[in-house]
Structure 1
Amino acid sequence: MPDVTPPGPPPGPRDPGDAWAVGPDGTKAWGRFGAAGLLVDDGAGRVLLQHRVEWSHHGGTWGIPGGARHQDEDAVTAALRESAEEAGVPEDGIDLRHVAVLDLGFWTYTTVVGRARDPFEPVIADRESLALSWVPVAEVDALPLHPGFGASWPALRAAIETVPHVVVDAANVVGSVPDGWWRDRAGAAERLLSSVAALAARGLDARELGLPFARWWPRWTVVLEGEARGAATATAGGGAGSGSAADSASVGVVRAEGSGDDAIVDAVRSALDDGHAPVVVVTADRELRTRVEALGAEVRGPGWFREQ
């Protein structure tokens, strides 16, 4: 994309967050409520980078679209908003992967990492970019990087292909709570799917998956068997049968024609074949645990799922 010459710095603050945060020692960082940016890859080995205008902080370097968080705005929303405003990134076209947080005590910067669902061309949409470019991962280090992004890039690069995957043994999880599920197995499965969809949208604490950074959005697969196969699907945007473009991670549903355990083993094997790791199976079934651990998966009990 050709360079453009910006007309000059943007006008004054439009939100209380568009101001400097000042630390106890006088250190200044942009964003009264912190800042956030989006590192998005295209699934083909390239990441979207922004060449910053000269008048900006560390102007002339390359980094990611981002900026100050608005008052009462969460970091993910801020990163998606800023990248849309600066680079034309489709806010409903990003599958979230994980977030990394730099915490200086008086100020935080959150790097939101995602993957584009469909190809798109970035557009210089404000005065803060000299250029926007899809850069091959192997070529990022050759650019003059923004110091903050440059410091975080090695760890971000190391995890860029990491895809955690959670496989849920629906029959075992539903059956672990005596709430009358046996009277309506499909309805109980629908409630479980709604819970999974909510977790898929919110993500999991990285410590629950044994991964670095702060929070991850795994892939999810829920295996239904028997009468539960009649359950309608659900998303975080609503109840059974509804859809939401804002879902941050997809939930796959497998309706086992035969053995549910066999279907779970197949789902685990498929996830591992696709390079997903870690693969976590939610079940309390001892025999199933032995089978999936032999493949390389980890196991959590239904109580772990409910705690999330």
Structure 2
Amino acid sequence: MTHTRPSFDGPRDPGDAWAVGPDGTRMWGRFGSAGLLVVDRRRGVLLQHRALWSHFGGTWGIPGGARHQGEGAVAAALRESSEEAGVPAEAVEPLFTRVLDLGFWTYTTAVVRAVRPFEPRIADAESLELAWIPHDGVDRLPLHPNFADAWPDLKAMIASRPVLVVDAANVLGARPDGWWRDRAGAAARLLKALADAAGAGLPAELLGLDAHTVWPRVVVVLEGEAREAAPEAGPPLEVAHAAGSGDDEVVEQVRVLRGDGGAAPVTVATSARGLRRRVEALGARSIGAGTLRDAVEGPHRA
């Protein structure tokens, strides 16, 4: 977390102020605060050695600060990390967020993955240094107490990206909306809805994760006439065409993801009881088709 001495070089945003709790506790950021944890597969995580004058100065944590009025948490974390550490927004993609909610104030940790190499740079007076730290080396540093508390769970969650496997035929069949008259068209609409939802972030509880919002890898299994659907979206949405049984293809996808001791948390969306038993036997969890459609089609904001 970042609770720093405010310094203003330009117009002050209303969010750059203290939030005061019922007991008088003061936390920086009238609209809450947010920080960015960047994960790089080769180099580890990007940490900030905090300036001595800052709250818990001299410890290590993540760049971040107060959210501006009307600003989303992820947008705030990206802006703050750019201002403090020169993190380019186009070089990262979101993985998940976790939220500490004190009632009168929230702190959001936005965890992102580096999709292209970049070197951080000290861009203001809030850092003594910035460094890529291997996962196993983080605990050896004097950490900001709040980051130290959060790190064990964060470390476990960044070990592997969650996967959502969608049994498209069963999900389409969950709503009697005439999908059978144009299976390919209905499948294409489902793909678009899933791509939009995955791009905006899904509720973490949908995937059984202890977080707020998650951006999973999504694998959609199409069978029969639905295989003619032409997906317009790319990653994180993938399409698997079943040569025969859609259920068998779903099981095969789970088998590959969970094979050889794979640690990736896998959730399968289907209401077919037999299929749910098969994938759960492989170590996946399952949710009903209606649950997925409610999450994808209902209101949700990252």
Which amino acid in 1 is paired with 2:97? V
Q: CA deviation at 1:14?
A: 2.7
* Residue equivalent to 2:141: 143
Question: Are positions 1:304 and 2:302 aligned together?
Answer: no
Q: Which structure 2 segments of 5+ residues have no match? A: 1-5, 296-302
Paired AA for residue 28 in structure 1: R
Which stretch of structure 1 is more off in the superposition, 166-175 or 80-89? 80-89
1:292 to 273, 279, 298: 279
Kept after mapping to 2: 8 A contact 1:10/1:127: no
Which of 251, 260, 264 is 2:246 aligned to? 260
Shift of 1:45: 6.0
Counterpart-to-counterpart distance in 2, 1:270 and 1:167: 12
SS at match of 2:79: helix
Q: CA deviation at 1:97?
A: 2.2
Pick closer, same or farther for the CA change 1:204–1:110 going to 2, 3 Å: same
Aligned match of 2:214: 216
Query: What root-mean-square deviation, in Å, do the aligned CA atoms of Structure 1 and Structure 2 show?
Result: 2.2
Q: Give the deviation of 1:44 after TM superposition.
A: 2.9
Q: CA deviation at 1:273?
A: 3.1
Is 2:267 aligned against 1:280?
yes
Match of 2:120, as an amino acid? P
Equivalent residue number for residue 46 of structure 1: 44
TM-score (norm 2): 0.87
Deviations 1:276-304 (A, max 9, x none): 44311112233323332222222222111
Cα gap change, 1:18 to 1:90, in 2 (>3 Å): same
Q: Select 1:87's aligned residue among 82, 85, 88.
A: 85
For residues 177-192 of structure 1, the aligned pairs below 5 Å read 177-192=175-190
Shift of 1:58: 2.3
Instruction: Provide the C-alpha distance between the structure 2 equivalents of 1:286 and 1:26, rounded to a whole number of angstroms.
Output: 53
Matched, 1:250 2:248: no
Residue 110 of structure 2 corresponds to 112
Q: State the shift of 1:10 in Å.
A: 4.7
How far apart are the structure 2 equivalents of 1:189 and 1:266?
A: 21
Question: 1:222 Cα shift?
Answer: 0.3
Output one character per residue of 1:247-281: Cα deviation in whole Å (capped at 9) or x when no partner: xx711111223332222122111221383443111
CA contact (8 A) 1:165 1:276 kept: no
Aligned partner of 1:3 in structure 2 is none
Q: 1:10 to 1:133 in 2, by over 3 A?
A: farther
Find 2:18's aligned residue among 6, 17, 20: 20
| Matching residue of 2:126 | 128
Q: Paired residue for 2:164?
A: 166
Q: In structure 1, the residue corresponding to 2:166 is in which secondary structure?
A: strand
How far apart are the structure 2 equivalents of 1:161 and 1:69?
Answer: 28
CA contact (8 A) 1:9 1:55 kept: no
Q: Distance in 2 between matches of 1:141 and 1:223?
A: 41
- Is 2:45–2:134's contact at 8 Å kept on the other side of the alignment? yes
Q: 1:196-207, aligned counterparts within 5 Å?
A: 196-207=194-205
TM-score (norm 1): 0.86
Distance 1:124 1:250, change over 3 A: same
- Deviating beyond 4 angstroms after TM superposition, the runs of 4 or more aligned structure 1 residues are none
Structure 1 CA distance for aligned equivalents of residues 226 and 68 of structure 2: 44
